[in-house]
Amino acid sequence: MIPYGKQNISSQDIASVVNVLESRYLTQGPAVPEFEKAICNYCNADYAVAVNSATSALHLACLALGVGLGDCVWTSPISFVASANCARFCQATIDFVDVDPDSGLMCVKSLSEKLLQAELNGTLPKVIIPVHYSGQSCDMESIFELSKKYGFKIIEDASHALGGSYLDEKVGCCRHSDISVFSFHPVKMLTTGEGGAVLCNSQELYEKVKRLRSHGIDKTINDEPWGYEQLELGYNYRMSDMAATLGISQLSRLNLFLKKRRTIATKYNEAINNSLIVPITQGNKRKSSYHLYPVLTKDSKHRRSLYEFMHSRGVAVQVHYIPIYRQPYYKNMGLSSMEGSEAFYNRVISLPVFYDLQSSELNWIIQSVNEFKGGCNEQ
């Protein structure tokens, strides 16, 4: 079965981890700050804090921006549940902004209308979390302009988008946000096993996130050489040196990973010729990392049959994502469905895209997609 995504681990990656295993430090050693510096340099951001998952990164980002009881956070419903859970971890309420049904990205028109109504109701959000779905940046310039008008903070959920760009700048530079968050899960652009990072250009936010990552402890303000002080309630969200050194090694090949993913996407764009299937819309201002390659079926009745047809051909296509408001936990809050999100969800399927995808596999996927005629379990 051809998976929709898969990590690539080289002999260099393995050797780098073995070196850490044979060293003095397995955690809290030199590899983590080295990895953080490398991510900053790549994205042109001032600060980075590496953590044990992107979920932890989102949680810390919310905490650093002061999200708490009585606050509201808005995000996209077309994402993994962590994009909303981070607000709930902080006891804040959550609401959703509809997406463009052709791209899956937060719809600026819907956001603008929702903000106008929220201002009238006195219910403006404290933070908005745009999700760079599939590796393509949201229209961050427009969202940033709205933040200046309505006073909310911005966390970019860039879990899919390491290596992507927007207005000729790397996603993660925080030009149009307060904080950006990356994921280093195995199917993402590079992997540390599990892992994530918080990027920002504010020293104050950086110090807050770094402290919260490790129990809320500051080791710099005690006179004793062995001293430390816990200033607030924090968490054990640290990344290990084993994970960080794998990240350093993977980062050295990130451009190769990106080139291969974009080559695959180009081949899909050129070779898929089926009137029942179209790729999602790609914006002119953006260059996707292609963490995912989603396509849309012509209408909702074909999505299930395409899923089953491709699996019968040995291609493990996947659906990204069930709208978060459909999950029982959020549905019980009385959150209603959204037209654009439903239209997108009912048609979307992700085709395989990863570094080790072979030409023969790619050709088989394309042949299978082109042979799909819309019937259930069609062989």
Distance in angstroms (rounded) separating the CA atoms of residues 159 and 180: 9
User: What pLDDT is stored for residue 376 in this prediction?
Assistant: 54
Report the range of poorest mean pLDDT among 199-203, 227-231, 316-320.
227-231
Among the candidates 251, 279, 300, a domain finishes at 251
Say whether pLDDT at 270 is over 90.
Answer: yes
In this structure, the answer to whether residues 280 and 202 fall within a common structural domain is: no
Question: 218 with 286, same domain?
Answer: no
Q: What percent of the chain has pLDDT over 70?
A: 99
Does this model's pTM top 0.75? My answer is yes
Question: How far lies 209's CA from each of 44, 202, 217, 230, in Å?
Answer: 19, 11, 11, 14
106 in the same domain as 90: yes
What CATH number does residue 33 fall under?
3.40.640.10
Same domain, 185 and 110: yes
Between CA 37 and CA 43 the distance in angstroms is 10
Domain presence at residue 289: yes
Residue 1 has pLDDT above 90, yes or no: yes
Q: Say whether pLDDT at 328 is over 70.
A: yes
Whether residue 378 is contained in a domain is answered as no
DSSP state of 136: P
Q: Mark whether 233 and 354 lie in a shared domain.
A: no
Whether residue 260 is found in the same domain as residue 239: no
Comparing C-alpha atoms, which of 103, 84, 161 is closest to residue 284? 103
Q: Span 273-289, mean pLDDT?
A: 94
Say which CATH number the domain at 328 has.
3.90.1150.10
CA distance 2 to 175: 38
Vertex 154: Cα angle to 150 and 157 (nearest 5): 145
Mean pLDDT along residues 263-268: 98
User: Token digits for 35?
Assistant: 């990895």
Whether 352 and 274 map to the same domain: the answer is yes
- Domain end (from 225, 251, 277): 251
**Do 241 and 266 have their domain in common?**
no
Tally of domains in the chain: 2
Range of the domain at 262: 254-371
Same domain flag for 25 and 150: yes
